[in-house]
Amino acid sequence: MKKFAKALGLIACAAAFCVCALAACSSSNGSATSSPTSSVEADTTLTVELQVSADSAFARALLEIEQLYSETHEGVSFAEPQFSQTEQSPSKGVVASTVSKADGDSAHADIVIAGSKAKMNALEQEGAIQASTRFDLARNRLVIVAASDNDSVTVCTLSDIVNGLHFVALGDADVASGASAREALSTAGGYAFQNGGSASDPSSEAGSYSGALAEPGVVTESPTTSAVCENVRKGVCDVALVYATDVYRYGSLKIVGAVDASAYAAVDYPVAVSQDSEHMDEAEAFLSWCATSADAREILQKWGFTL
């Protein structure tokens, strides 16, 4: 009888062991099936990617601003910016093809930073932007620069240039800073437009240099801003008339003089959300942050913009 009872006890223990083992397997299987679900849920976090089309003056500043925004605003990233390669003057500039509806092969852009009000006006007339989101983000200024290692030029004024005290480099009539330079020189008697107009007047015709600047070799024109800066760095010219942002973009230059803002048309950079943007709310939030964030404004100032 005792042997029978002992056998029953062994059977009961074995049964209990089997039940526990089955429970453990069931629990293990349940965990295995729940893990992929949580993984899928984690992978479904959406990130909005914004595309910005900007004037080349923002080549350095915009990258820093985008990086800071992504780091402080979860769920927003940026595609590689599209920078306008045109050097066209502010009043006669062509619209960047990245946002022009007239260009069927143009790339998409959620945000536009135009090189001038004239360019943004053209986009607005074309219906390519949301006019209600438009505002001026920053302003550039015309400055006189020399090579950083040129100790012979520490200070220079517009009058010095007009009087022929230095060989000067500037962009040709189709370069934005070159157009501003001609307008400034015209106020000091160093340049005369054919019809008495100015570089900011679309109806103005190209003119000619006056006085000392009319002498051969005193003025060297170039088709791009980079070439203008290179002429100064290499010592071809003593000074150049460029925008403040160019000093920081191209390097090895120092500002030796400022040009009175009243001598040339304001160089403003309007921004707006593209009419065809698929992320209008996020794009507008980014522009609002650029306009109000102290950090964003500090970056713009670091790269030569005024606010």
Contact by Cβ (8 Å): 65, 290: yes
Instruction: Tell me what the pLDDT averaged over the chain comes to.
Output: 83
DSSP string, 116-149: SHHHHHHHHHHT-B-GGG-EEEEEE-EEEEEETT
| pLDDT higher than threshold 60 for residue 244 | yes
Q: Can you give the pLDDT at residue 201?
A: 63
Which CA distances in Å does 11 have to 7, 17, 38, 226?
6, 10, 41, 92
Which CA distances in Å does 299 have to 112, 167, 227, 304?
19, 33, 26, 9
Q: Can you give the pLDDT at residue 281?
A: 97
DSSP class of residue 96? P
| pLDDT higher than threshold 60 for residue 119 | yes
Q: For 245-282, what is each residue's pLDDT tens digit? A: 999 999 999 999 999 999 999 999 999 999 999 999 99
Q: For 63-81, what is each residue's pLDDT tens digit? A: 999 999 999 999 999 999 9
Q: Is 69 helix (H, G, I), strand (E, B) or coil?
A: helix
Q: Is 172 exposed, middle or buried (0-12, 13-18, 19+ CB in 10 A)?
A: middle
Three-state helix/strand/coil letters over 192-215: ECCCCCCCCCCCCCCCEECHHHHC
Q: For residues 51, 56, 59 and 62, what is the CA-based torsion angle, rounded to 10 degrees?
A: -50
Give the closest residue to 144 by CA, choosing from 263, 57, 54, 56: 263
* pTM of the predicted protein model: 0.79
Contact by Cβ (8 Å): 117, 91: no
Tokens of residue 125, six digits: 């007339």
| pLDDT higher than threshold 90 for residue 195 | no
Q: Can you give the pLDDT at residue 85?
A: 54
Q: Can you give the pLDDT at residue 199?
A: 62
Tokens of residue 214, six digits: 């009319």
Q: For 124-137, what is each residue's pLDDT tens digit? A: 999 999 999 999 99
Q: In the structure, what pLDDT confidence band is assigned to residue 211 with cuts at 50, 70 and 90?
A: very high
Section 166-188 average pLDDT = 95
| pLDDT higher than threshold 70 for residue 234 | yes
Q: In the structure, what pLDDT confidence band is assigned to residue 102 with cuts at 50, 70 and 90?
A: very low
Round to whole Å and give the CA distance between 105 and 115.
Answer: 21
Contact by Cβ (8 Å): 106, 112: no
The separation between CA 267 and the C-alpha centre of its own chain, rounded to angstroms, equals 15
